[in-house]
Amino acid sequence: MIHACSIRNLKKEYVLKSETVRALRGVSFDVPEGDYVAIMGPSGSGKSTLLNLLGCLDKPSSGELLLGKDNVAHMSDNQLAEIRSRRIGFVFQSYNLIQQLTVVENIEVPLYYQGRLGAKERKRCIELAERVGLGERLTHRPTQLSGGQQQRVAIARSLVNDPYFILADEATGNLDSKTTAEILALFDELNDEGRTIIMVTHEDDVAARAKRVVRLRDGLLQSDVMNDPLARKAAAAHALDPVVETADEQAMHQPTTAPAN
């Protein structure tokens, strides 16, 4: 069976001045294709380090890290960049869209770095924008979109390169509960379509939506448990309960207009 990602005895050490910080002290687990994993843990547990390693933004000190068939543990900077553009879909807490680009252009960015830009690719980006419900806003800039809409663009962008897995880092951390529910529902749909999702979160009700929860503590794997499918459904149903919106939350639905400087 091919795993979307396979980790063997992964270690990462940082040298800060004279002190050596052992952020990961030998973590091993597999993520099969189509899985939906939530990675949890208190701050300092090593979950950010693990996320950076999974995202090919950093190299492990030792251990094996397989993404699909690619062993990325010993790759050069350029090779890692190549993997990031072809095989990983990032979704960040703060959306991380490029301000001067439109919705479609933002979705296109990973393809741009693969050197693949054409009518076919453009069509695919438009389809993805439609898939996440932004078909009407193709030429909008990020500043003209609400937080939830921006995160949808980010999700569409993470799908454009047909990645091994979507790597979501606190993807709902900046969103109100209603938008959170919408985004999580979108993740559910994508997972149902067969997409692998790895999500870092510290919110229990977000983690409850995953198929499986991996907990880290002090750089080691603390637990790796499957969520009860029934409990997942209940959590999903609960999230869609009508919530009485406060004025603050209503304000959050308005498009944000970031001041341009």
Shortest spacing between CB 250 and other proteins, in angstroms: 26
Q: Taking the complex as a whole, how short is the minimal distance between the CB of residue 99 and other proteins, in angstroms?
A: 7
Query: In the complex, what is the shortest distance from the CB of residue 83 to other proteins, in angstroms, rounded to a whole number?
Result: 8
**Residues β-bridged to residue 78:** none
Site for other proteins in 227-246 (CB under 8 A): none
Cβ at position 240, least distance to other proteins in Å: 31
Q: Is 14 in the site for other proteins (CB under 8 A)?
A: no
Among residues 121 and 205, whose Cβ is nearest to other proteins? Answer: 121
**CB of 156 or CB of 181, closer to other proteins:** 156
Query: For other proteins, which residue of 77, 237, 247, 257 counts as binding (CB under 8 A)?
Result: 77
- DSSP letter at 136 equals G
The residue range among 23-31, 33-41, 104-112, 142-150 that interacts with other proteins, by the rule CB under 8 A, is 104-112
DSSP 173-236: TTS-HHHHHHHHHHHHHHHHTT--EEEE---HHHHTTSSEEEEEETTEEEEEEEPPHHHHHHHH
Q: 140 or 212, CB closer to other proteins?
A: 140
For other proteins (CB under 8 A), the number of binding residues is: 30
Phi, psi of 108 (to 5 degrees): -75, -20
Classify residue 244 by burial, with Cβ atoms within 10 Å: 0-12, 13-18, 19+. exposed
Q: Does 249 bind other proteins (CB under 8 A)?
A: no
Task: Tell whether residue 99 is a contact of other proteins (CB under 8 A).
Answer: yes
Find the part of the chain contacting other proteins (CB under 8 A) among 28-36, 95-103, 143-151, 195-203.
95-103
Q: What angle do CA 178, 181, 187 make, to 5 degrees?
A: 150
- Taking a C-beta distance cutoff of 8 angstroms, is the pair 20, 13 a contact? yes
Per the DSSP assignment, residues forming a β-bridge with 224 are: 214
* By CB under 8 A, residue 29 contacts other proteins: no
Whether 227 contacts 213, CB under 8 Å? yes
108-167 binders of other proteins (CB under 8 A): 109-110, 112-115, 117-118, 157, 161
Locus of tokens 């296109």:
108
CA 5 to chain centre: 14
Provide the binding-site residues for other proteins, judged by CB under 8 A: 52, 55, 57-58, 77-78, 81-82, 84-86, 90, 92, 96-101, 109-110, 112-115, 117-118, 157, 161, 260
